[in-house]
């Protein structure tokens, strides 16, 4: 079984695309930096992302963004908690590593008012993974695809534990 904490720990680059379900068009693009750092709590990582995002509905203007989460890992399960904003400390989503060891599938949906969020992590290789988040509801209809690429590509090698 893969050690999720070892896999995520480190510095990553992100490229994000936001696609509107009705039009099929890209309504936003983002790029930035991400860090996963160990916390004092065993099995826990602090996730911090920051970068620049461009929204088509705002005439292509660019905005700075940042977000943080706590990733709590227990064997093949991942719980993600908000670490900023009005939901600080609340559970965002839970995931379970599938039998292939390369996908973290959501155990349920996150509800934000009337909109529903579900997501899946797909691990491409030692140094890249993709997070796809689908948001549906009366206020939102998007798919957000974020590709993460490790900054230090020699940091981790995915090999089964002995």
Query: Can you read off the two tokens belonging to residue 35?
Result: 């860090």
162 residues of the chain, pLDDT tens digit each? 789 999 999 999 999 999 999 899 999 999 999 999 999 988 999 999 999 999 988 888 999 999 999 999 999 999 999 999 999 999 999 999 999 999 999 988 888 888 999 999 999 999 999 999 999 999 999 999 999 999 976 544 444 444
Q: What pLDDT shows up at residue 117? A: 93
Query: In terms of C-beta density within 10 A (0-12 exposed, 13-18 middle, 19 or more buried), how is residue 64 classed?
Result: exposed
Domain boundaries defined on the chain: 4-150
Report H helices in 3-159: 4-8
At CB < 8 A and 24+ separation, what contacts does 24-27 make?
25/56, 26/56, 27/55, 27/56, 27/57, 27/142
Single out the residue of 121, 32, 26 nearest to residue 73, CA to CA.
Answer: 121
CA 3/CA 161 separation, integer angstroms: 8
Q: What pLDDT shows up at residue 153? A: 64
**Protein fold of 4-150:** Lipocalin (2.40.128)
Q: How many CB atoms are located within 10 Å of the residue 39 CB?
A: 12
* Residue 11 Cα to chain centre, angstroms: 14
Q: What pLDDT shows up at residue 63? A: 95
């Amino acid at each position: 079984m893969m050690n999720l904490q070892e896999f995520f720990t480190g510095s990553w680059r992100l490229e994000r695309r936001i696609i509107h379900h009705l039009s099929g068009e890209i309504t936003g693009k983002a790029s930035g930096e991400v860090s996963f750092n160990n916390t004092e709590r065993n099995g826990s990582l602090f996730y911090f992302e920051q970068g620049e995002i461009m929204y088509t509905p705002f005439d292509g203007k660019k905005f700075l963004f940042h977000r943080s989460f706590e990733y709590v890992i227990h064997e093949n399960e991942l719980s993600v908690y908000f670490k900023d904003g009005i939901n600080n400390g609340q559970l965002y989503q839970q995931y379970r590593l599938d039998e292939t060891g390369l996908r973290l599938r959501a155990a349920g949906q996150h509800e934000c008012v009337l909109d529903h969020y579900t997501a899946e992590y797909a691990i491409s290789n030692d140094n890249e993974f993709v997070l796809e988040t689908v948001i549906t509801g009366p206020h939102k209809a998007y798919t957000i695809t974020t590709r993460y690429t490790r900054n230090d590509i020699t940091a981790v090698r995915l090999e089964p534990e002995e």
